[in-house]
């Protein structure tokens, strides 16, 4: 699928991770006539995280050799340590559950990497994210046509960030901080493909990354289990696990390491053969305790959920808020089915009023708002 506007011979820097998505991104752009440069972004990582980055870097270079395009290694270790790692640790220490992938995209891929690309003569950057902009809109797909209401708060030349065609891979949730200043330089060639199609394209193009497994690690650091990672930087502190009556029924290793809705990682000492799983309902940082519940009949949302969730640090991709009198949809975690909602201003914050109660709205996580398949923006849950 080609862009509606012909950017032939324009220079694009592609963020190559060494995986299949960015590999196919690079070859699609080259076939469309772009002058492509592959860039491997090296970030800071602790010694215990291993050296997976070396293998990924070698894979990225191999792709560039196959495509006969320039290859660059961009060291953003300092920027990563300051903007992503330090932010993440600080948030956990404050009792919140941050989303480092959102910050990584904001500060590194569409921050420092974009700045580097433009300073070195690039017209665009491209990534292997499963999203696309309205610049790439395929009007033959009725579900992707833009409604009149949405066009009222997007200017005619604005780019709209669209959810990826593969709903299991859609990554718009992690890109709600993007602005028009960034989007005008961004290309997302695989956004209208499904993952299976991307792998098939990689095989057809003879790319060695065609069957490489997806990275499951923290942002672009690699394969690191979050708890193991955090315990290297935040000391463990034994605490009590309480039931809803305030009785001590178990122990945990430090309230910082847990998030609302979690059902593993703590010990229950008072239990019977027929006991059901416990889920974290509340965290008490002053007393270093967790309160847990069994799942009630009808589910958690109906009994303990919240209809109103406040968000801060808000970003609207159009540059201005949408019509607050309209209904929208939103999600409070990655891959959650979109939920109907309305919006209400509250000073510098927004209150999102959901049609049905939401369970485990976790402070520090992202709440992202949509109009159909258009990502409008979002904020951080208070």
pLDDT in tens, 304-316: 999 999 999 999 9
What integer best gives the mean pLDDT of the chain? Answer: 90
**Cβ pair 263, 277 in contact under 8 A:** yes
pLDDT at residue 146, as a whole number: 42
Higher pLDDT among residues 276 and 288, named by residue: 288
Q: State the pLDDT at residue 140.
A: 37
| Tens-place pLDDT, residues 285-307 | 999 999 999 999 889 998 999 99
306: Cβ contacts below 8 Å, ≥ 6 apart = 354, 357, 358, 361
β-sheet with 11-15: strand ranges across: 71-75, 35-42, 11-15, 124-126, 186-187
What is the set of active-site residues?
Answer: 104, 219
Q: What is the pLDDT of residues 74-94, one digit of tens each?
A: 999 999 999 999 999 999 999
pLDDT value for 28: 97
> Would the pLDDT of 54 be above 50?
yes
- For 36, residues 6+ apart whose C-beta sits below 8 A from its C-beta are 12, 14, 26, 29, 30, 67, 69
Position 6 confidence tier, pLDDT thresholds 50, 70, 90:
low
pTM value? 0.91
Mean pLDDT of 268-274: 77
Pick the range with the lowest mean pLDDT from 10-24, 53-67, 85-99, 221-235: 221-235
For residues 63 and 28, the answer to whether their CB atoms sit within 8 Å is no
Identify the weakest region by mean pLDDT among 131-135, 269-273, 312-316, 361-365. 269-273
Place of tokens 């959920």: 305
Per-residue pLDDT, 50? 73
> Is-contact 371 343, C-beta < 8 A?
no
Q: What is the mean pLDDT of residues 230-237?
A: 92
Q: What are the structural domains of the chain?
A: 11-130+165-226 (3.40.50.620), 235-294 (2.30.30.280), 300-381 (2.40.30.10)
| Interatomic CA distance for residues 156 and 201, integer angstroms | 34
How far apart CA 21 and CA 129 sit, in angstroms, is 8
8 Å CB contact between 195 and 169:
yes
- Tokens for 183, please give them: 């989007």
pLDDT band for 222, please (50, 70, 90 cuts). low
Distance of CA 174 to the CA centre of its chain: 3
Q: Strand 289-294: give its sheet, edge to edge.
A: 267-268, 248-252, 239-242, 289-294, 278-284
Question: Running DSSP on this structure, what letter comes out for residue 106?
Answer: I
């Amino acid at each position: 699928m080609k862009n509606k506007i012909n950017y032939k011979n324009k220079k694009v820097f592609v963020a190559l991770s060494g995986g299949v998505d960015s590999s196919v991104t690079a070859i699609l752009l080259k076939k469309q006539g772009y002058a492509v440069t592959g860039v491997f972004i090296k970030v800071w990582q602790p010694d215990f995280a291993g050296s997976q980055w070396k293998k990924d870097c070698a894979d990225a270079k191999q792709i560039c050799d196959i495509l006969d395009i320039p290859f660059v290694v961009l060291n953003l270790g300092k920027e990563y340590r300051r903007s992503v790692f330090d932010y993440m640790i600080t948030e956990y220490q404050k009792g919140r559950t941050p989303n480092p992938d959102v910050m990584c995209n904001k500060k590194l891929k569409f921050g420092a990497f974009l700045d580097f690309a433009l300073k070195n003569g690039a017209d665009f950057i491209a990534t292997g994210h499963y999203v696309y902009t309205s610049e790439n809109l395929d009007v033959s797909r009725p579900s992707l046509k833009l409604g009149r209401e949405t066009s009222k708060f997007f200017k005619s030349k604005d780019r709209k960030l669209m959810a990826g065609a593969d709903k299991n891979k859609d990554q718009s949730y992690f890109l709600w901080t993007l602005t028009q200043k960034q989007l005008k330089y961004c290309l997302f060639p695989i956004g209208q493909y499904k993952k299976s199609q991307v792998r098939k394209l990689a095989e057809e193009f003879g790319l060695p990354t065609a069957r490489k497994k997806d990275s499951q690690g923290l942002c672009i650091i690699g394969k690191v289990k979050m708890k193991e990672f955090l315990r290297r930087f935040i000391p463990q502190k034994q605490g009590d696990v309480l039931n809803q009556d305030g009785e001590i029924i178990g122990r945990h290793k430090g309230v910082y390491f847990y998030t609302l809705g979690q059902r593993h990682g703590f010990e229950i000492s008072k239990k019977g053969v027929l006991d059901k799983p416990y889920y974290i309902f509340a965290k008490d940082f002053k007393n270093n305790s967790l309160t847990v519940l069994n799942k009630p009949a009808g589910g958690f949302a109906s009994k303990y959920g919240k209809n109103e969730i406040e968000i801060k640090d808000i970003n609207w991709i159009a540059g201005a808020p949408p019509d607050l009198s309209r209904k929208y949809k939103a999600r409070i975690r990655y891959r959650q089915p979109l939920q109907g909602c309305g919006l209400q201003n509250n000073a510098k914050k927004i209150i999102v009023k959901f049609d049905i109660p939401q369970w485990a709205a976790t402070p520090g996580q992202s709440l992202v708002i949509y109009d159909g398949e258009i990502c409008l923006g979002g904020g951080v849950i208070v």
